[in-house]
Amino acid sequence: MLNSILKNLSILKKFLFINLIFFTIISLFTFLYLKNVQPNLIKKKSSNHIEVINNTIDNLTRYNVEFVEEDIRKFLFSTRFLFQNLDRVIFFDGELNLVGDTDTLDLDPRSFSTRLDMVELEILSEKKNKEIIEKKNIDIGKKKAVSLKDILFNYSESKNFGTHFTFTQEGFNKFELTTIKNVMHNGVNKGYLAITENANDVKAAIDERKTFIIRTAFAVGIVILIFSFVLNRYFLKPIKNLVSYTNTIKNKNSKTTNIDALKLRNDELGLLSNSLDDMTLELQKRITLAENFSTDLVHEIRNPLASLKSASEILNDTNDINQRIKLIGILSHDVQRIERLITDYSQMLKDEVALSKEEIKKLDIEPIIKSVVDDFNNIYTLKRGIKISYENDKKSKYFVNGIENRIEQIVANLLDNAISFSNDNQDVIVKVSKLNNGKVVIKILDEGQGFKEKDTSKIFNRFYSNRPDKFGQHSGLGLNIVKNLVDLHNASINASNRTDQKGASMEIIFPKV
């Protein structure tokens, strides 16, 4: 049930809802605590009353005190030390008549005297004492107020007769605790004893706890509201902006969503915004490249297709053997061209997927280059008389951070390109060296025609048009693939004409490990 409720709520509403649940649970336990704290405090205080009552009953029984005014007055004066810490002690006979009340006596031994006793008798009559008791009312369960005598009457008629009975009464700025018990002697109920004490400290303790809890609840509520505001202002709204940003990109909406402000943050949301923006730009870049590449590929395929169509039409209309042989060569050349374009394009797509999974690590490139050179020598030395030689500057190791099969691919593509522009029986040289700053350099030198372009950087563009005569074996993508792989290794590639003789030079510089 709770999961279904939270499922459709926002983070802020979930946070507030969960806090509301915890707040409600804490409030329930607090209410139960406050409900039980007053009885516990009263029980603690009433235990002292019970002890005094029991001691008083023992003394009454020991001295065989009768529940008449004179005997009770003498008893009170003789045992005044029992009641000095109490506010009021009241005695009733078996008929619920008042026979003694410490409020009518002065139990301070410094002022106790017979004269005082006489004055009290003259001033405070029994009628006056009874009026005092009758005015001492209590509120039980917030119902009709009853007097102390009513309580005693109910006590004498109840099943709890013979045990202690404690009750409280609350007035203006006054909270009193009263404990009563009947006095039995030889199986006869002689009277009743009631002890009343000011329990304002109990009330103050309860009020103090209530005030503390209310203040705490108010403070917690304020903290939750402030935290909710901070959560919404600095976390949830930025996340909503990021969601809006991604939706705008997904739906290709013309509406612009600016996350530059989020990118300036120095926390995790700032990192996420920068990462998301970089990912989006990279994705858009790849989409643009794919679209441009597809357009270029269609354009490149269209030319050989047009040539195929033209050659096939002429071939169908001519009977000249020489011309037919020439046209068949054109058809074969164009088919090779289309096949190579499709193959290289497919390989580029595979390479992009593979590159995202491959790991760059430290490796020595010398054995990699030697292996590629040996493979090419086995093919082209016999086929065209082209010799590929390997040279180095005698340094111990040539370490770079790279991917082994991709470095093989770079060297193989450059050698393939150099051989394409070389005549039979010419030499191609592969040189490896290490600069003083720790960078590793690979140079591939041929003896071909060299570059006619003043800006040699454009030879790395896709489908660049300055191609050898036998270009049916090439797609125009080789150098572009090389450039992408070089960039992957954080290296650089430069093309130039040789200064010592005719031919071209391709130079790759790998950064220091």
Are 470 and 328 contained in the same domain? no
Are 370 and 402 contained in the same domain? yes
Q: CA–CA separation, 411 vs 143, rounded Å?
A: 103
The H-assigned helical ranges of 161-267 are 200-231, 237-250, 260-263
Are 334 and 368 contained in the same domain? no
Domain of residue 93, CATH code: 3.30.450.20
Give the closest residue to 467 by CA, choosing from 448, 444, 484. Answer: 448
Is position 242 within any domain? no
Distance of CA 346 to the CA centre of its chain: 43
455 Cβ contact list (under 8 Å, min separation 6):
none
Q: CA–CA separation, 55 vs 162, rounded Å?
A: 16
Are 302 and 322 contained in the same domain? yes
Are 7 and 49 contained in the same domain? yes
Are 382 and 421 contained in the same domain? yes
Q: Write the DSSP symbol of residue 112.
A: -
Are 325 and 366 contained in the same domain? no
Q: CA–CA separation, 506 vs 508, rounded Å?
A: 7
What range defines the domain where residue 64 resides?
Answer: 2-207
Q: What are the backbone angles phi and psi of residue 419, rounded to the nearest 5°?
A: -65, -35
Is position 343 within any domain? yes
Are 285 and 400 contained in the same domain? no
492-497, strands of its sheet edge to edge? 387-392, 427-434, 440-445, 504-510, 492-497
Give the closest residue to 120 by CA, choosing from 102, 134, 132, 133. Answer: 102
Domain of residue 447, CATH code: 3.30.565.10
pLDDT string in tens for the chain (513-residue length): 556 655 566 666 777 777 788 878 888 888 787 777 777 888 887 888 888 888 888 888 888 888 888 888 888 887 766 676 677 889 998 888 898 888 776 544 333 333 223 223 222 333 434 443 444 443 434 444 567 888 888 888 886 777 888 888 877 777 888 899 998 888 888 899 998 888 888 778 888 888 888 888 888 888 888 888 887 777 777 777 777 777 777 776 656 666 777 777 777 777 888 887 888 877 777 777 677 767 766 766 776 787 788 778 887 777 788 888 888 887 887 787 777 777 777 766 676 666 666 788 899 999 999 999 988 888 888 778 889 999 998 877 899 999 888 898 899 889 988 888 888 889 999 999 999 898 999 999 998 888 888 888 888 877 665 555 444 445 567 788 888 888 888 999 999 998 888 899 999 999 998
In this structure, the dihedral spanned by the alpha carbons of residues 313, 314, 320 and 325, taken in order and rounded to 10 degrees, is -80
Domain endpoint, select from 175, 207, 239: 207
Are 340 and 419 contained in the same domain? no
Task: Name the domain count of the chain.
Answer: 3
Are 78 and 171 contained in the same domain? yes
Q: CA–CA separation, 506 vs 298, rounded Å?
A: 29
Here the tokens at position 467 are 């191609």
Here the tokens at position 458 are 């454009």
Are 369 and 284 contained in the same domain? no
Are 381 and 299 contained in the same domain? no
Cα within 13 Å of Cα(421), Cβ side:
23
Is position 312 within any domain? yes
What is the SS3 assignment for 38? Answer: helix
